[in-house]
Structure 1
Amino acid sequence: MTDSVSPTPGDHPSAPSPAPDFTPAQRARGRALRRAQLPWALGGRLAGLALTLALGLTPAGAGLVSAVGGWFGGSWAAEVLGGAAALVLLGQLTQLPFGAGARSVRARFGLVTQGWAGWAVDALRGLALTLALALPVALGLYALTGRSPEHWWLPAAGAAALLTAALSFLYPLLVEPVFNRFTPMTPGPLRESLLGLAARDGVRVRDVLVADASRRTTALNAYVSGLGATRRIVAYDTLLSTADPREVELVVAHELGHVKHRDVLTGTVLGAVGAAVVVALLGLASGWDALLSAAGAADAADPRSLPLLAACAAVLGALSGPVQCAVSRRVETRADLHALELTEDAEQFVAMQRRLALTNVSDVDPPRVLELLFATHPSATRRIAAARTWQAGRAGAPDAPSGASSRPETVV
């Protein structure tokens, strides 16, 4: 496919006109869900940030670390591990009512199939995983600060980058199975078509798995997970039971686009670099006497500085959020284009986008400010408009020379 035929990734119409793809009632339903969820989502973010800042920029956090550490003997290790655990627990408890509120909203719209007991178990699993990661990280961090209170962030930045890369590789093996059961897709035409799609795209996958998402939700999704030997296509059982096989292929073609353009690898590298930069900035913050004084900590090696570091990390995360969303939307746009070029089926792509939007009760055309701040994917109307722009460009392109392929060969 020549460049003159395909729009540049991210080249959406700036203001797509409402197409007859969604009825007024369908649009209203998506807006209603978004408006009902927004207070809970924003409230949870603001409450979590406010708590973190209150503990990190006042002596309250230092007092919490000292008190919890004292319950376990008052040693240096007790303060580090106890303080880290207390921060994680308080953060989770703060988010709990907001998460429950958002879940109740989604349940009213028919998107939740899991009971409250199952939801609580998942929350406990998430807490356990967070503690399993946070406690060793905190212990290693303060071991480094103890050895070099001024330059600890140099080795810590390298360790953060390596840890980020390792977690990206291990996530499908260690974390995903905690929340879902995965079974190989039953041999048949759909499995063969998905494997054939990946082969035609030059993407090696280990297997095609089905996730039991219906235990929690009616939402539809699929993804390609893992790197190298761990890579597999994963489809929600809700998608397989609801969508037409061709629509499933379009969803998977989009996900293969992420692999083809090395989005997972690039994301891992950028995440590793970002983690190193964050640690370096935390090193600067921990050397600022005014911040340490406000937090009630003596220096960076003092475990009572832990809430301060958490507060600084939270601020950096909040500030970088819109930038990460913008990058994500561009990446998703490129994957959409890849799906169109791989399948050459714009009409079925539009049908797939409609099904995803309606089943997931998406706001198909949200306010632009919300999209810029929080959306990781373009809206459904923008994706559909882009597909039709691609289709129109392809229809208007001159025919390829006799014997020539309509798109370049895939290079493995």
Structure 2
Amino acid sequence: MTETASAGADFTAEELARGRALRRARLPWLLGGQAAALLLAAALGFTGAGAGLVSAAGDLFGGSWAARVLGGSAALVLLGRLVALPFSARVRTASARFGLVTQGWAGWAVDALRGTAVALGLFLPLALGLYALIGRSPEHWWVAGAAAAALLTVALSFLHPLVFEPMFNRFEPLPEGELRTALLELADRDGIAVRDVLVADASRRTTALNAYVSGFGPTRRIVVYDTLLTTAEPREIELVAAHELGHVKHRDVLTGTVLGALGAAVVVPVLAALLAWRPLLDAAGAASAQDPRSLPLLAALAALLGAASLPAQCAASRRIEARADRHALELTGDAEQFIAMQRRLVVANVADPYPPRALELLLATHPSGGRRIAAARAWSAG
């Protein structure tokens, strides 16, 4: 079946048009926000503007070395959030026009402030510790830095469900009943001990449907949006749970954490080498790597490396999600309901089931809805 024929069979012309319209309304602001963040990082990191910012922020708190590190870090975080804010607001406005937003502007602002506080709470002590390490061992700081970055990645993955997720959502165990029994039986059949199935109060922000698995070891749990429970059929919810069980079965969170830790450990010596390059330090207006005025340069280099690795990260994520889809099909043997579930997700989330291929390759963390439906049909036929 061709993509055009499949689109006609699975989605109405109106549903396809809505998905494309929302993508076109949000995409310029999503890309614009990312571009603005990179341009800001480059402008501060590769010119003397960033050094001046660090010096000015440090002078507000006494001008000491620690004041420059902390003041400069805070200034970078706040400026970055400020630049991203109008783009995020426009994305939210576009989503609201299509009925995806249930939260008021006041709640949105509180979430933005809370996110900024979390960023400051993480970045400031990390920057202070990093520059203390560089000052202590200017030539070999990257050895301990790489180990610390790997350990920090593991710690954050472990703590995220316990500390950070509850800051933005409330979670309750899935109530006793037929659905909970069915999900636990599904997990038992899959040979997986599920510690908990939690329901997130996503409806106070959005009408979108979603589920995910987070944490590992004692913090591992499967989370479903309350919007999914009130919208989807029980069998479709089972298919969503089967997909999430696939992540657990293949230890995707643990594997992702380990790979993330290894990636962090590899990036640190690369950053150290670049941070020691004299032409970059001169352009940034910093005397040396341990000079707090090199902070914007370090942030710019990290941002550029992150942006360059994004397509590879997305490709790995799509493969993991496709594997979880296959697991759901093999566990349930129900391609028909899997297709119904994917169709519901596309329609409820006003997604474009057939986005431009280049866009999917560069930015998508999940296969498109149309591709997931086609894969389910291929699995059924095979």
On the 8 A contact 1:16/1:382 being kept in 2, the answer is: no
> Which residue of structure 2 aligns with residue 196 of structure 1?
185
Match of 1:382 among 371, 374, 377: 371
> Which residue of structure 2 aligns with residue 253 of structure 1?
242
Match of 1:212 among 201, 210, 214: 201
> Which residue of structure 2 aligns with residue 227 of structure 1?
216
Match of 1:141 among 130, 145, 151: 130
* TM-score after normalising by structure 2: 0.98
Note if 1:114 corresponds to 2:103: yes
> Which residue of structure 2 aligns with residue 31 of structure 1?
20
Query: 2: CA distance between counterparts of 1:233 and 1:267?
Result: 16
> Which residue of structure 1 aligns with residue 229 of structure 2?
240
Query: 2: CA distance between counterparts of 1:95 and 1:329?
Result: 26
Query: 2: CA distance between counterparts of 1:369 and 1:160?
Result: 32
Q: CA deviation at 1:224?
A: 2.1
Per-residue displacement from partner, 1:331-385 (whole Å, max 9, x unpaired)?
A: 1100000000001000000000000000000000000110011011111111101
Query: 1: CA distance between counterparts of 2:47 and 2:331?
Result: 55
- Specify whether residues 238 and 299 from structure 1 end up closer, same or farther in structure 2 by C-alpha distance, changes over 3 A only: same
Q: CA deviation at 1:17?
A: 4.8
* TM-score after normalising by structure 1: 0.91
Q: What is the DSSP-based 3-state SS (H/G/I as helix, E as strand, rest coil) of the residue aligned with 2:362?
A: helix
Gaps of 5+ in 1: 1-12, 394-412
Alignment of 1:256-267 (within 5 A): 256-267=245-256
Match of 1:187 among 166, 176, 179: 176
Note if 1:164 corresponds to 2:191: no
Kindly, what percent of the aligned residue pairs are identical?
Answer: 72
Q: CA deviation at 1:275?
A: 1.0
Gaps of 5+ in 2: none
Q: What is the DSSP-based 3-state SS (H/G/I as helix, E as strand, rest coil) of the residue aligned with 2:289?
A: coil
Per-residue displacement from partner, 1:285-344 (whole Å, max 9, x unpaired)?
A: 111000000000011110000000000001001100001001111111000000000010
Across the two proteins, how many residue pairs are aligned to each other?
Answer: 380
Query: 1: CA distance between counterparts of 2:214 and 2:314?
Result: 20
Match of 1:51 among 40, 44, 68: 40
> Which residue of structure 2 aligns with residue 306 of structure 1?
295
Query: 1: CA distance between counterparts of 2:310 and 2:13?
Result: 32
Query: 1: CA distance between counterparts of 2:308 and 2:259?
Result: 16
Aligned-pair Cα RMSD in Å? 1.0
Per-residue displacement from partner, 1:158-215 (whole Å, max 9, x unpaired)?
A: 1000000000010000000000001111100101111111121122221121110000
Note if 1:67 corresponds to 2:46: no
Q: Which has the higher contact order (CA 8 A, sep 6+)?
A: 1
Q: What is the DSSP-based 3-state SS (H/G/I as helix, E as strand, rest coil) of the residue aligned with 1:137?
A: helix
> Which residue of structure 1 aligns with residue 274 of structure 2?
285
Query: 2: CA distance between counterparts of 1:205 and 1:171?
Result: 18
On the 8 A contact 1:209/1:233 being kept in 2, the answer is: yes
Moved >4 Å (runs of 4+): none
Letter of the aligned partner of 1:330 in structure 2?
A: R
